[in-house]
Structure 1
Amino acid sequence: MMLDRKGNNPLLAIKFFGEGIRWLGNSKLRKFVVIPVLVNLVLYAVAFALGYLYLGDMIDRLIPDWLQWLRWILWPLFFIGFFIGGFFTFTVLANLIASPFYGMLSAATLGIAAGESATVMEVPWLRVVKAELRRAAYLGVRAILLVIISIIPGINVIAPLLWALFGAWGMALEYLAYPLENAGILFSEQRKLIGSVRWGALSFGGLAAAGLAVPIVNIVVAPAAVIGATLYLREIEKK
């Protein structure tokens, strides 16, 4: 597979991300969207509930009565930390569990876009999970390097920009992978292909990352990104 250079256009990537959101209402895709959304919803609710109970218990045990005013500081920090931490841990875990369904969603999207029935190609579950773990390892190593950069005085001034780029690139690799895996393209080649349209991919991944950082909205961002990525790749693939 080769990708057309027009895929580098950020506006094209943004357009197809919007198409992914619009296609969430497609009745032919509904059964492929429902399960990933439920997975996201359950994980999000469990993580939030456990975090809420843990912090409440910790505050009750550690903060004396005369420092109760600290609750007004700690609770907002909890919510901020939950959504920032959730961006990485929640997204990785949710995508790992829902990855087989995302592959089917991508295949169904491609079939509908081609004017065919929503035929779903069965991708071996173990192969899908292995691909997810390879991506997680690739991103994890780079995240550790960014953490180190973030605590080095002087250099850490550029850390926010690097984290933003890292998030956008990671989400591009994540969601563009599903249609590529359905085409039989493995992770090492995926990186080269996505790198050939880097600016478009970063724009697409940046929108996905921003959406995943928004509470409630992030529950439907992942399936929308899978649909949008499939349509985007279909548009820029050289026939």
Structure 2
Amino acid sequence: MLDAVTALSRGTRCVYQPGMRRYVFLPILVNLIVYVSMFSFVFTRFEGWLNNWMDMVPTWLDWLSWLIWPLFVISLLVVVFFTFTVVTSLIAAPFYGFLAAKVEIQATGREPLDDRNLTKTAIDAIGREFVKLAYILPRAAALFVISWIPGLNLFAPLLWALFSAWIMAITYLDYPMDNNKVTFADMRQRLARRWWQSLTYGGLVTLITWIPLANLLLLPGAVAGAVLMWDAHYRGPTGTNLK
């Protein structure tokens, strides 16, 4: 049975084959622009955020000061790369949708069920990203609040890591599912039924987003890997069988 690492490896090789590279260049350019902009923003504000974080720690937790700083850094990294992926997915959604469709044809020999023209596909892809954001943002906001509550914020890195894995699964596995007319609600149910495959793939994609610069090249491979995961684990009518 296809696992997350194999899917990503095969997917990355697939998108950089001759004939597929044209669908990769624009997403990489979008990712690069967002990546540089976001890191410039974080770099200029890091010290102030850290000081605010430390000021909120109650005196009875002073003995944990050696742990609080690295927890802040980890939490910030998770939030930054989570935000990076959400933003780039929103901007690059039409390109990723086209890429997923081409990968599905080449890797599986099947045409996606989608019969929309290119313009409608691009418009609908952006609309689908806003549906994802409506699902993601309230939950991310709740975790953000937890990250600033003394005591509870010690658990924030773990909560962000689990949440990021789930959201990355939703973000990337949705491209082939949207191409095959799977609704957003149905998509989430399929991912939940195969929760192990979903979280391992989402977790792997999350780790990729933490690799500076290399993530720009690997994220298109994550789209292709999601197509392979879709075909292996979620294609059946209920998302519990392959064919």
Q: TM-score range by the shorter chain?
A: 0.7 to 0.9
Q: For 1:144 and 1:172, locate their aligned partners in 2 and report how far apart those are by CA, in whole Å.
A: 19
Matches within 5 A, 1:131-146: 131-146=128-143
- Residue 91, structure 1, aligned to residue 85, structure 2: yes
In the TM superposition, what is the alpha-carbon distance from 1:120 to its structure 2 partner?
Answer: 9.6
Deviation at 1:154, TM superposition (A): 4.0
1:217 alignment partner, one of 214, 219, 237: 214
- 2:132 partner amino acid: R
**Structure 2 unaligned spans of 5+:** 49-72, 236-241
Counterpart amino acid of residue 12 in structure 1? D
The whole-number CA distance in structure 2 between the counterparts of 1:116 and 1:159 is 42
- More deviation, 11-20/131-140: 11-20
Deviations 1:118-173 (A, max 9, x none): 99963532221111011112111111111233333444443222111101000000
Match of 1:124, SS? helix
* Partner of residue 126, structure 1: 123
Q: Could you tell me how far apart the structure 2 residues matched to 1:175 and 1:155 are?
A: 30
Instruction: Give the alignment partner of residue 172 of structure 1, picking from 163, 169, 173.
Output: 169
In 2, Cα distance between equivalents of 1:232 and 1:217 = 22
The answer for the alignment partner of 1:31 in structure 2 is 22
Where does structure 1 lack aligned partners over 5 or more consecutive residues?
1-5, 59-78
Go from structure 1 to structure 2 and tell me whether the alpha carbon gap of 1:180 and 1:41 turns closer, same or farther (over 3 Å shift): same
Match for residue 12 of structure 2?
Answer: 21
Letter in 2 for 1:197: R
Matches within 5 A, 1:1-239: 12-49=3-40, 84-115=78-109, 122=118, 123-236=120-233, 237=235, 238-239=242-243
Paired with 1:157 and 1:49, the residues of 2 have a C-alpha distance of: 27
The whole-number CA distance in structure 2 between the counterparts of 1:164 and 1:18 is: 22
Counterpart contact for 2:75–2:157, Cα < 8 Å = no
**Seq. identity, %:** 37
Structure 1 residues 99-108 or 137-146, which shifts more?
137-146
Structure 2 CA distance for aligned equivalents of residues 230 and 212 of structure 1: 19
Instruction: Give TM-score, length-normalised by structure 2.
Output: 0.75
**TM-score scaled by length of structure 1:** 0.76
Q: Once the two structures are superposed, what CA deviation does each residue of 1:71-127 show, in whole Å capped at 9, x if it has no partner?
A: xxxxxxxx9898555313322221111100100000000100134799996353222
User: Counterpart amino acid of 1:26?
Assistant: Q
Q: Which structure 1 residue ranges, 4+ long, deviate > 6 Å from structure 2?
A: 79-82, 116-121
